[in-house]
Every structure is written in C-alpha cells, then in structure tokens.
C-alpha cells in the first residue's frame, strides 16, 4: 500500500512506494507526519510537479464501507471503515428506557413528549447520520493527504426500477449483462447467500420460482428465491406448499421472507442521497453507480468479494484490468470520543458509579494508541494498542491478542492521538 507524501508546506504530493518512503526517512529527508494513515512530510521544499490525478471510490455499506484510491487503472491505497450505528442505537434505546422508568417510580408523573417536536427536512436518525459523517470525515482527510480530483460512489444498492420493468432504460440495457447482475445481487443479499430450502452455503445457487411458471407464477422479485441445484431439481414444478408440507415452519418463514423488503438495503439507500449531496458540496465531480455494476466490474476482473475491492470497482470509470498494489487494507473502526454520561447505572436504572469530568491522566487519554515497553515486573515485554486510562496511573492496553491490564503510565509512549477511530492492518 502506497504512502502519502506532503511537501514542507503541508501540500499533498503523489503517494509514493513504501520502499522509497523508507529511503527518505532513513536519509533524514523526511519525517513521519501521521501514523494512521501512514504519511510522511518532506523536510526540504520540492518543486511542484504535475500531480497525477487520483480518484477516490466509496462502497457504502450498512456495517462496513470500502474506500479505495486509484490512479487510472492502479489501486494505490485501500481501507475498510466499520461504523458504530448499532452501538448508537443501543445507547439511545438504553437512555430512553432509563427516562421512561422514572415515570413509573414514586415521583411526579412526567408526560412523554413523543413526536411533538418538529424535525428538519432531510432528518436522519443518529445511527444513520453517523455513517454519513464517518465517510465524509475520511474523504476530507484523504483530500488533505493526496491530490484527489474525482469521487465515485454507489448511489443506490440495486436498480429496483430495472428489476420491476426491464424496458425502463431501453432495449439495449435490457439485453445487456448488467440487468441480470442487478437481480442476482439483490437475491443474494435478500436470502443471505444460502439455499432457502436446506440452508447450504458456499455452493452454486440458482434462482427458483416460489410459484412455478407452469402454475402461472410471475418473474417478480417477490416470487423468486435462491435454491441449490439439488433442492431445485427435487422441487421441480411442485407448488411450495406441497414441497414443504412436512416443514410448516420453513414454509411460513420462506413466504414471509419473500414478501419482506431488504431492510438493510432500504436503510442504506436512505443515507446515500445524503452522502451524495454532501460529497457534491466538496466541489469535486462525483460519479455514481449501482451495486449490480460494481459486482459486474469485480467479476469481470476475477477479484474476490471484499469491501475495499468492491470500492475499487464502483462506477463506469472502472477499467477492464485493474492493477492491485494493495496487499492488506487499513482496517478502521469508528469508536467515538468517549461517554458523556456522568452517572453510571445498573440494569434497573439505579446509580452505581460516577465518572470524573477529567479525561486526560498523566498526559494520556482513553483511545490513544500507545506503545508500552515494560522492563520489570510480571508483564515484561512490548505492547502496542489502544489505551484505557485511569486516574491511578494504571492503564489497560487493548492489543490485537487481548487486553493487558495494570501497565504503568511510566512505560507508555505515544504512537497516535485519539481521533475517534481504531486502526489495524487487514488480512
């Protein structure tokens, strides 16, 4: 993965190969500017050259978003950003439960306000808007570190109009391969990439009609499911009620799932317009694409399915042959900036602890990435990871292999200041 380079006046230059970055650091011509993402800053002024235009590509997801930076047909940098929308939802639910429990105690009755407050146009729940903010934060960071001139993002997960009415975009589009990719990718997402009848995974799956075509079944998405070859041949043109008459629970589940919309996709689609409009405000041209086109581009290049490779194949600008110069993407996890709740409570809502309003202890703050070199005691060794600070000076360090407790602050040194994200190298 290439290294970001800044001039001595902090202006972004073309990313460089890691070997060249090591030579500059070893020769004293550059210094480490930032660890995550790894960035060096030159000590001497370099005459501005014509920076090659870069394109940042984004594959938004409900839980994880893929990000990639391309130079023409070369993937230079990639990352996978994990969101914390579900944690935010759980925290808001816990707070709501605590507030409602106060109305049932021996206190003055407080009438709930519910939805008597007006919401602004385009309002999104905090659990969804946090995902948009995370993506925008990293796009802006990468704009400060590299000469990016264009953006590509998935605007919609699936072209639902094309699936319902294949002729909506013309006969040329209908007869192309992209229309089939839209439908197949939608079915894989909806049925969790497994056979609806036997639950087998990691095998070839076929599209099966719940009501057979010979029994007047339609080609609508609500009448389609996924089946392995064995189950598909066994079912044949039997009605599903006859095929699953000995499995009433499975029959009920399949019929319910067939009518159920893709909830995660609906939530993601609700935020993508907000993301698209926010990206346009950055002043760069924004290219859009669909999930079906992304899969078509990825399969055409013979690449495995990962979030960052999906991001590399977003949009019509993707070349036929991609050169992948990234072996391991940067894994980014949104962690937040701490808890503002001053009074901690138990499961019944009663206070059990009080937190201090002082975040920094001995110059360190919870969330900082530290290196601890312990020279004596039972925990002799070197540890790198996120730190959990205490006022006593006894810290916990969360390493990739687990938590190490009872590390004195005297052995700790900074690697990266807390910025609301955790980092590690991908697989």
Span 64-83, mean pLDDT?
94
Note the Cα 35 to chain centre separation in Å.
21
Q: Which CATH architecture has domain 161-259?
A: Orthogonal Bundle (1.10)
Phi-psi region of 418 (alpha: psi -120 to 50; beta: other; left: phi over 0): beta
Span 46-62, mean pLDDT?
83
- Tokens representing 217 are 């079944």
Span 172-187, mean pLDDT?
58
- Can 54-84+124-155+264-334 and 161-259 be said to share one CATH topology? no
Interior/surface letters 316-334, b for 16+ CB within 10 angstroms, e for the rest: eebeeebeeebeebbbbeb
What is the rounded CA–CA span in Å between residue 89 and residue 86? 5
Cα atoms found within 13 Å of the Cα of residue 411, Cβ hemisphere only: 21
Domain boundaries, the chain: 3-42, 54-84+124-155+264-334, 161-259, 343-425
Judge whether 409 and 373 are in contact, CB under 8 Å: no
What is the rounded CA–CA span in Å between residue 1 and residue 6? 17
**Angle 417-421-422 from CA coordinates, rounded to 5°:** 90
SS3 382: strand
Looking at the predicted structure, is the pLDDT value of residue 173 above 50? no
What is the rounded CA–CA span in Å between residue 414 and residue 197? 54
Return the biggest CA–CA distance within the chain. 78
Condensed to tens digits (0 to 9), the pLDDT of residues 202-217 reads 888 888 888 888 887 8
What is the rounded CA–CA span in Å between residue 306 and residue 198? 26
Span of 28-42, 85-99, 188-202, 342-356 with lowest mean pLDDT: 342-356
The CATH number that domain 343-425 falls under is: 2.30.30
Angle, helices 291-301/178-190, rounded to nearest 10 degrees: 100
Secondary structure, 3-state, 239-297? CHHHHCCCCHHHHHHHHHHHHCCCHHHHHHHHHHHHHHHHHHCCCCCEEEEEHHHHHHH
Judge whether 36 and 141 are in contact, CB under 8 Å: no
Cα atoms found within 13 Å of the Cα of residue 224, Cβ hemisphere only: 19
What is the rounded CA–CA span in Å between residue 356 and residue 168? 60
Angle, helices 126-145/85-101, rounded to nearest 10 degrees: 140
Percentage of the chain exceeding pLDDT 70: 86
Q: List all residues 6 or more positions away from 350 whose beta carbon is below 8 Å from its beta carbon.
A: none
Span 381-395, mean pLDDT?
91
Q: Quick one: DSSP state of residue 349? A: S
Span 50-61, mean pLDDT?
88
Judge whether 387 and 395 are in contact, CB under 8 Å: yes
Give the long-range contacts of residues 283-288, CB within 8 A, separation 24 or more: 284/148, 284/149, 284/150, 284/151, 285/149, 285/150, 285/151, 286/150, 286/151, 286/152, 286/153, 287/150, 287/151, 287/152, 287/153, 287/314, 287/315, 287/316, 287/317, 288/152, 288/153, 288/154, 288/155, 288/315
State the pLDDT confidence band at 12, using cuts at 50, 70 and 90.
very high
Percentage of the chain exceeding pLDDT 90: 36
Looking at the predicted structure, is the pLDDT value of residue 226 above 70? yes
54-84+124-155+264-334 homologous superfamily:
Ribonuclease H-like superfamily/Ribonuclease H (3.30.420.10)
Please tell me the pTM assigned to this model. 0.75
How far from 358 is each of 254, 342, 370, 391, CA to CA, in Å? 53, 11, 19, 9
Looking at the predicted structure, is the pLDDT value of residue 263 above 60? no
Looking at the predicted structure, is the pLDDT value of residue 190 above 50? yes
Q: Dihedral of the CA atoms 424, 14, 34, 141 (nearest 10)?
A: -80
Partner residues linked to 62 by β-bridges: none
**What is the predicted pLDDT for the residue at 110?**
61
């Amino acid at each position: 993965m290439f290294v970001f380079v800044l001039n001595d006046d902090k202006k972004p230059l073309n990313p460089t190969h890691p070997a060249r970055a090591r030579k500059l650091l070893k020769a004293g011509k550059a210094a480490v500017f930032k660890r995550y993402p790894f960035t060096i800053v030159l000590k001497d002024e370099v005459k501005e050259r014509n920076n090659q235009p870069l394109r940042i590509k984004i594959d938004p997801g409900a839980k994880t978003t893929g990000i990639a930076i391309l130079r023409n047909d070369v993937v230079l940098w990639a990352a996978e950003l994990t969101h914390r929308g579900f944690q935010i939802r759980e925290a808001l639910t816990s707070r709501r439960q605590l507030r409602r429990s106060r109305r049932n105690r021996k206190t003055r009755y407080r009438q709930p306000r519910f939805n008597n407050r007006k919401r602004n146009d385009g309002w999104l729940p905090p659990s969804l808007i946090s995902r948009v903010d995370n993506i925008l934060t990293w796009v802006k960071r990468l704009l400060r570190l590299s000469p990016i001139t264009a953006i590509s993002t998935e605007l919609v997960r699936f072209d639902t109009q094309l699936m319902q009415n294949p002729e909506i975009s013309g006969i040329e589009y209908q007869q192309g391969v992209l229309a089939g990719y839209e439908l197949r990718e939608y079915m894989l997402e909806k049925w969790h990439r497994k056979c609806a009848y036997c639950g087998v995974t990691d095998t070839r799956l076929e599209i099966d009609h719940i009501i057979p075509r010979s029994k007047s079944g339609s080609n609508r998405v609500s009448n389609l499911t996924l089946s392995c070859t064995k189950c598909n041949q066994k079912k044949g043109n039997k009605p599903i009620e006859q095929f699953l008459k000995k499995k009433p629970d499975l029959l009920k589940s399949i019929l319910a799932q067939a009518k159920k919309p893709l909830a995660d996709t609906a939530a993601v689609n609700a935020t993508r317009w907000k993301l698209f409009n926010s990206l346009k405000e950055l002043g760069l041209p924004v290219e859009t694409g669909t999930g079906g086109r992304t899969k078509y581009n990825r399969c055409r290049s013979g690449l495995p399915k990962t979030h960052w490779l999906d991001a590399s194949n977003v949009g019509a600008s993707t070349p036929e042959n991609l050169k992948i110069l990234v072996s391991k993407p940067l894994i980014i996890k949104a962690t937040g900036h701490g808890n503002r709740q001053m009074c901690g409570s138990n499961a019944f809502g009663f206070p059990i602890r009080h937190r201090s309003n002082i975040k920094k202890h001995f110059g360190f703050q919870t969330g900082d990435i530290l290196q601890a070199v312990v020279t004596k005691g039972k925990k002799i060794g070197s540890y790198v990871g996120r730190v959990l600070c205490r006022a006593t000076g006894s810290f916990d360090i969360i390493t990739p292999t687990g938590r190490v407790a009872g590390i004195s602050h005297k052995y700790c040194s900074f690697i990266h200041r807390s910025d609301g994200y955790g980092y590690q190298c991908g697989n």
